[in-house]
Amino acid sequence: MAVTIRFPLVAALAASTALAGCNLAPTYVRPAGGVPAALPQGGVYPAAATDARDITRVGWRDFFIDERLRQVIQRGLDNNRDLQVAAANVLQARAQYRVQRAELLPSVAASGSATYTNNLFGASGATGGATGATGTTTTGSTTTGGTTTGTAATGTGTVGSAVGTGSTDLHYYSANVGVSAFELDLFGRVRNLSKAALEQYFATEEAQRSTRITLIAEIASAWLTIASDEDQLALSQQTLGTFKETLDLTTAQFRIGVASELESRQAETNYQAARNDIAVLRTQIARDRNALDLLVGTPVEAALLPPALGDMRPGIQVLPTDLSSTVLLRRPDVLQAEHQLIAQNANIGAARAAFFPTISLTATLGTISTALGGLFASGTRTYTASPSIALPLFDGGRNKGNLDYARASRDAAVATYQKTVQTAFREVADALAERGTIDEQIAAQSARANAAQVAARLSEARYRSGVDSFLTSLDAQRTAYAAQQQLVTTRLNRGSNLVELYRALGGGLS
């Protein structure tokens, strides 16, 4: 099937091919993060571990070693609503990219039509009737020297014979395949818009990864918080018993006149304070469980909850400390910011291309016939080709404004990327700083708690022997109670620090 293509179409296609590589977007160069080349070392920071594993390559199942915690995390990954929203956002971004990418290719459509119309000659009431009556028609006249001569002809005719149908109705049928207003992307406008959509899709994927890592860390922290509050509750209940014994003793002594009312009231103060702590902790544990249920997206049964924190360590202990700061560039939030920066860079190319001519093509290839049966017969083929070009001459500064906006958006994306890298560096540095001293804190708090307990026992014995005052004994009890509470809090900080290192270093997800 031969089709003759006119010169304008050939020229447009040739120009499109010649300029296919034209791209007006600035060359992308990753901006400097503005952080030191290596993570902090020395001083409060832990010494380098030679057998450390790269946490960014350690999946969460290998990092968290408690089986109950693993089950809770997996349930959260299956049911958390924020994670489901993040997954839906990825699907939306992927669909938007596919829509934008489709602009790179022509949209080919097939169409068919039928036209039914009335013959205007038959409808005008010419001397020949609708059935072909005989009539007389004057074909011409001439006036010469005042004498008029003319020629007349009489004949018969069939109305509609001008189109050869023998009918007052006209029928047209056509079938076409073609493209409509396909832009020849000579200056990379469409390609840069497609690139921007692709990078936004990648950014959304990294946002989902970041959401997963954050969710894992939040579930682990909430789980450890429940364990810590259970320890605090057990400690408060135990202390309440001790304070109750002291209160009963001083009350009995006051009744027989051995102790003063002041001592009895002081003992009651400690006792009521412990009662209040128990009530507060019971409420807090209920709130902790509600928070965990929300993170997981479904109720967590008691069998999967930790009964106590104690000296439990939820994750692996040997972590890298002598890392280059380039490891931060693999964090999902940093990668998300970089993809968004690349997208804004591509938008500059699209804005620049708006200053240049836009060439589009509309073309169809088809067939047309007055009879449906002869639609694809010989001699019925038809085509149209309509290339067009538009050159902006005056737009009131619209294109310049769009370009300025794209450049400003790129500058903002650069600043956001650098701020994200700096924030990542600070988070890792803070976590490493705490890790460098946390074991010393635990040792000190344990020794302090043991010493305070011994001091409380000795002070009580000295009080009963009449050596020390009752106030000294009460102070010793309060100090022991506070030291034990602080020990539980420090143990929670150690577990939370491990979880924070997993999150801050962009831990693995497998």
The whole-angstrom separation of Cα 489 and Cα 484 is 9
Q: Could you give the C-alpha distances from 105 to 8, 113, 179, 185, 402, in angstroms and in order?
A: 20, 26, 10, 10, 25
pLDDT tens digits along 224-256: 999 999 999 999 999 999 999 999 988 998 898
Other CB atoms within 10 Å distance of the CB of residue 489: 14
Assess whether pLDDT exceeds 60 at residue 342: yes
Give the up-direction half-sphere exposure of residue 374: CA atoms within 13 A in the CB hemisphere.
9
The whole-angstrom separation of Cα 407 and Cα 191 is 18
If you average pLDDT over residues 261-273, what whole number do you get? 91
What's the confidence (pLDDT) of residue 420? 95
> Are 219 and 148 within 8 A, CB to CB?
no
The whole-angstrom separation of Cα 366 and Cα 3 is 11
> Are 362 and 178 within 8 A, CB to CB?
yes
The whole-angstrom separation of Cα 334 and Cα 31 is 12
Q: What is the mean pLDDT of the chain?
A: 84
Residue 108 CA, chain-centre distance (Å), reads 33
Instruction: Please name the residue that has the structure tokens 């135990």.
Output: 238
The whole-angstrom separation of Cα 160 and Cα 119 is 7
Assess whether pLDDT exceeds 90 at residue 335: yes
Assess whether pLDDT exceeds 70 at residue 2: no
Q: Which of 164, 286, 216 is nearest to 504 (CA)?
A: 216
Percent of the chain with pLDDT over 70: 83
Question: If pLDDT is split at 50, 70 and 90, which confidence band does 40 have?
Answer: confident
Q: Which of 463, 491, 489 is nearest to 477 (CA)?
A: 463
Helix runs in 170-188, H state only: none
Residues paired with 177 in a beta bridge: 110, 365
Rg, the chain, Cα only: 43
Q: What are phi and psi of 105, to 5 degrees?
A: -115, 150
If you average pLDDT over residues 400-425, what whole number do you get? 96
Assess whether pLDDT exceeds 70 at residue 398: yes
pLDDT tens digits along 196-230: 999 999 999 999 999 999 999 999 999 999 999 99
The whole-angstrom separation of Cα 378 and Cα 195 is 46
Other CB atoms within 10 Å distance of the CB of residue 399: 16
pLDDT tens digits along 443-464: 999 999 999 999 999 998 988 8
SS3 318: coil
Q: What are phi and psi of 33, to 5 degrees?
A: -80, -15
> Are 1 and 177 within 8 A, CB to CB?
no
pLDDT tens digits along 97-118: 999 999 998 999 999 888 888 7
Q: ∠ CA(294), CA(300), CA(303), 5° rounding? A: 155
Q: What are phi and psi of 244, to 5 degrees?
A: -65, -40
The whole-angstrom separation of Cα 55 and Cα 60 is 9
User: Model-level pTM greater than 0.85?
Assistant: no
What's the confidence (pLDDT) of residue 294? 97
Domain architecture of the chain: domains with CATH: 35-82+190-352+398-504 (1.20.1600.10)
